[in-house]
Chain A
Amino acid sequence: MAEVEETIKRIQSQKGVQGIIIVNAEGIPIKSTLDNSSTVQYAGNVHQLLMKARGVVRDIDPQNDLTFLRVRSKKNEIMIAPDKDYFLIVIQNPTE
Chain B
Amino acid sequence: MQPALEHQEEKDSQKEEEEAPPHELTEEEKQQILHSEEFVTFFDHSSRIVERALSEQVDVFFDYSGRDLQDKEGRHLSRLVTYPELLVASYSSNEDAPHEPDGVALVWNMKYKKTTPEYVFHCQSAVMSAAFAQFHPNLVVGGTYSGQIVLWDNRSNKRTPVQRTPLSASAHTHPVYCVNVVGTQNAHNLISISTDGKMCSWSLDMLPHLELVFKQSKSVAVTSMSFPLGDVNNFVVGSEDGSVYTACRHGSKAGISEMFEGHHGPITGLDCHTAAGPVDFSHLFVTSSFDWTVKLWSTKNNKPLYSFEDNSDYVYDVMWSPTHPALFACVDGVGHLDLWNLNNETEVPTASVTVEGNPALNRVRWAHSGREVAVGDSEGQVHIYDVGEQISVPRQDEWTRLRTLSKIQLNEVLQLWALKHIYSFSCSKSQCRGRTSGRLFACVDGVGHLDLWNLNNETEVQKSPRNII
Asked if B33 contacts A30 (CB within 8 A), the reply is yes
User: Which residue of A30, A31, A81 is within 8 Å of B46 (Cβ)?
Assistant: A81
Q: A65 an interface residue at 8 Å Cβ cutoff?
A: no
- Select from chain A the residue with minimum beta-carbon distance to B38: A85
With A22-B43, A83-B45, A88-B43 known as contacts, the answer to whether A30 contacts B50 (CB < 8 A) is no
User: Which residue of B35, B47, B57 is within 8 Å of A88 (Cβ)?
Assistant: B47
With A31-B30, A79-B50 known as contacts, the answer to whether A1 contacts B35 (CB < 8 A) is yes
- Select from chain A the residue with minimum beta-carbon distance to B59: A94
The contact string, 1 if C-beta is below 8 Å from chain B, for chain A 19-43, is: 0001010111011000000000000
Cβ–Cβ < 8 Å partners of A26 in chain B:
22
**In the complex, A14→B51 CA distance in Å?**
9
B145 to chain A, nearest CB (A): 41
**In the complex, A17→B54 CA distance in Å?**
8
**In the complex, A79→B46 CA distance in Å?**
10
Asked if B46 contacts A74 (CB within 8 A), the reply is no
B422 to chain A, nearest CB (A): 62
Cβ–Cβ < 8 Å partners of A11 in chain B:
47, 50-51, 54
Asked if B42 contacts A85 (CB within 8 A), the reply is yes
Number of A-B residue pairs having CB atoms within 8 Å of each other in the complex: 74
Asked if B54 contacts A88 (CB within 8 A), the reply is no
Asked if B46 contacts A88 (CB within 8 A), the reply is yes
Centre residue among B25, B43, B55, B61 by max chain A CB count within 10 A: B43
A91 to chain B, nearest CB (A): 11
Q: A72 an interface residue at 8 Å Cβ cutoff?
A: yes
- Complex interface residues of chain A between 61 and 96 (CB less than 8 A to chain B): 68, 70, 72, 74, 79, 81-88, 90, 92, 94-95
Asked if A81 contacts B34 (CB within 8 A), the reply is no
With A24-B33, A31-B30, A88-B43 known as contacts, the answer to whether A44 contacts B21 (CB < 8 A) is yes
Asked if B49 contacts A81 (CB within 8 A), the reply is yes
Q: A4 an interface residue at 8 Å Cβ cutoff?
A: yes
- Select from chain B the residue with minimum beta-carbon distance to A16: B54
B412 to chain A, nearest CB (A): 53
Cβ–Cβ < 8 Å partners of B405 in chain A:
none
- Complex interface residues of chain B between 50 and 72 (CB less than 8 A to chain A): 50-51, 53-55, 57, 59, 61, 68
Q: B39 an interface residue at 8 Å Cβ cutoff?
A: yes
**In the complex, A74→B59 CA distance in Å?**
12
Q: B24 an interface residue at 8 Å Cβ cutoff?
A: yes
**In the complex, A92→B46 CA distance in Å?**
16
User: Which residue of A8, A17, A68, A72 is within 8 Å of B61 (Cβ)?
Assistant: A72
Q: B167 an interface residue at 8 Å Cβ cutoff?
A: no
Cβ–Cβ < 8 Å partners of A22 in chain B:
43
Q: B40 an interface residue at 8 Å Cβ cutoff?
A: yes
Number of interface residues of B (CB under 8 A): 26
User: Which residue of A8, A14, A30 is within 8 Å of B25 (Cβ)?
Assistant: A30
Place the interface of chain A in its size category.
35 or more
Cβ–Cβ < 8 Å partners of A31 in chain B:
30, 34
Asked if B24 contacts A28 (CB within 8 A), the reply is yes
A93 to chain B, nearest CB (A): 11
Asked if A7 contacts B33 (CB within 8 A), the reply is no
The contact string, 1 if C-beta is below 8 Å from chain A, for chain B 246-284, is: 000000000000000000000000000000000000000
Asked if A68 contacts B34 (CB within 8 A), the reply is no
**In the complex, A34→B25 CA distance in Å?**
17
- Select from chain A the residue with minimum beta-carbon distance to B40: A4
Cβ–Cβ < 8 Å partners of B39 in chain A:
85-86
Cβ–Cβ < 8 Å partners of B55 in chain A:
14
- Select from chain A the residue with minimum beta-carbon distance to B56: A94
B52 to chain A, nearest CB (A): 11
Cβ–Cβ < 8 Å partners of B61 in chain A:
72
Cβ–Cβ < 8 Å partners of A28 in chain B:
21-22, 24-25
User: Which residue of A17, A30, A44, A83 is within 8 Å of B30 (Cβ)?
Assistant: A30
- Select from chain A the residue with minimum beta-carbon distance to B68: A74
A89 to chain B, nearest CB (A): 9
14 additional A-B pairs beyond A22-B43, A87-B46, beta carbons within 8 Å, are A4-B40, A14-B51, A15-B57, A26-B22, A27-B22, A28-B22, A28-B25, A79-B54, A81-B45, A81-B49, A82-B46, A86-B39, A88-B46, A90-B54
Interface, chain A (partner B; CB < 8 A): 1, 3-4, 7-8, 10-11, 14-17, 22, 24, 26-28, 30-31, 44, 68, 70, 72, 74, 79, 81-88, 90, 92, 94-95
Q: Offer 16 A-B interface pairs, CB within 8 angstroms, sorted by A.
A: A1-B34, A8-B47, A10-B51, A11-B50, A11-B51, A11-B54, A14-B51, A14-B55, A26-B22, A31-B30, A79-B50, A81-B45, A85-B39, A85-B42, A86-B43, A90-B54
**7 nearest A-B pairs in the assembled complex, by CB-CB distance:** A81-B46, A88-B46, A83-B42, A86-B42, A14-B54, A7-B47, A90-B50
